[in-house]
A and B are shown apart, each in its own frame.
Chain A
């Protein structure tokens, strides 16, 4: 059974804190993705990684960075959390190719106060 896990389901942080969101997949997938989901806006791509040590900006990378040191782990970093980064964050992985499905983690609901 394929599995994508995220380090926390719920997280509360203060403005200005550095925040790490971890995502781990056990499917040996090369591609991994970070999205945020907001009411009325749907899912938006923050960053993605085609393979270890690779990273590409998505549609809304500002205020975020990522790290992919190992194939199974993709970390999203909020360098200095702000209240407008309060959101649901979803990680996904995918085997490369144009017809393969994405597998999503359970999501982390982050609140920045």
Chain B
């Protein structure tokens, strides 16, 4: 079993829909990271979380440390949000563990 599991693996939705991507992990962590990768490969950081909730524009990330679960939400989704979203955790040994990513496709 992977230490970081994301769901769903693939998601197709219509423009305007509310999107949720989930991340569950099985190790003790010091921080959780949400990343976005567009076609072409470059990865950008969206959020770094160690507790609670963060919001940036239409993106919201939450984390529940007790349940070892984080969610990434996108409100009013747009075709430019189409990308792979990657959850990663830093464990207590300062090692980063990546999920396999969620491929999101927003249809116009």
**C-alpha spacing A92/B101, complex, angstroms:** 18
Q: Min CB distance, A35 to chain B, in Å?
A: 8
Indicate whether B22 reaches chain A with its CB closer than 8 angstroms.
Answer: no
Interface residue tally of chain B, by bracket? Answer: 20 to 34
Distance in angstroms from B105 CB to nearest chain A CB is 16
Give the CA-CA distance A42 to B88 in the complex, in Å.
11
A84 interface hit (Cβ, 8 Å): no
Q: Any chain A CB within 8 A of the CB of B23?
A: no
Size category, A interface: 20 to 34
CB closest residue in chain A, given B91: A98
Q: Tell me the nearest residue of chain A to B50, going by C-beta.
A: A99
Tell me if B42 and A104 are in contact (CB < 8 A). Answer: yes
| Pairwise interchain contact A99-B48, C-beta atoms closer than 8 A | yes
CB pair B48 A101 closer than 8 Å: yes
Stretch of B13-21, B58-66, B70-78, B92-100 that contacts chain A: B92-100
Q: Are A45 and B41 in contact (CB under 8 A)?
A: no
- Chain A 1-43 per-residue mask, 1 if CB under 8 angstroms from chain B, else 0: 0000000010000000000000000000000010001001111
Complex Cα gap A17–B42 (Å):
26
- Name the residue on B nearest A43 (C-beta): B98
Pair A104/B44 contact, Cβ less than 8 Å: yes
Evaluate contact between A107 and B41: CB separation under 8 angstroms.
yes
Residue of A nearest to B33 (CB): A101
Q: Whole-angstrom distance between the alpha carbons of A107 and B44 in the complex?
A: 12
User: Is residue B31 within 8 Å, beta carbon to beta carbon, of the partner chain?
Assistant: yes
Greatest chain B CB density within 10 A among A9, A33, A90, A98 is at A98
* A112 contacts partner chain B, Cβ-Cβ < 8 Å: no
A107 engages B42 (CB within 8 Å): yes
Chain A residues with CB under 8 A of B41: 9, 37, 88, 90, 106-107, 109
Q: Quick check: B44 and A98 within 8 Å, CB to CB?
A: no
Residues of chain B having any CB pair with chain A under 8 Å: 30-31, 33, 35, 40-45, 48, 50, 86, 88, 90, 94, 96, 98-101
A interface, CB within 8 angstroms of B: 9, 33, 37, 40-45, 88, 90, 92, 98-107, 109
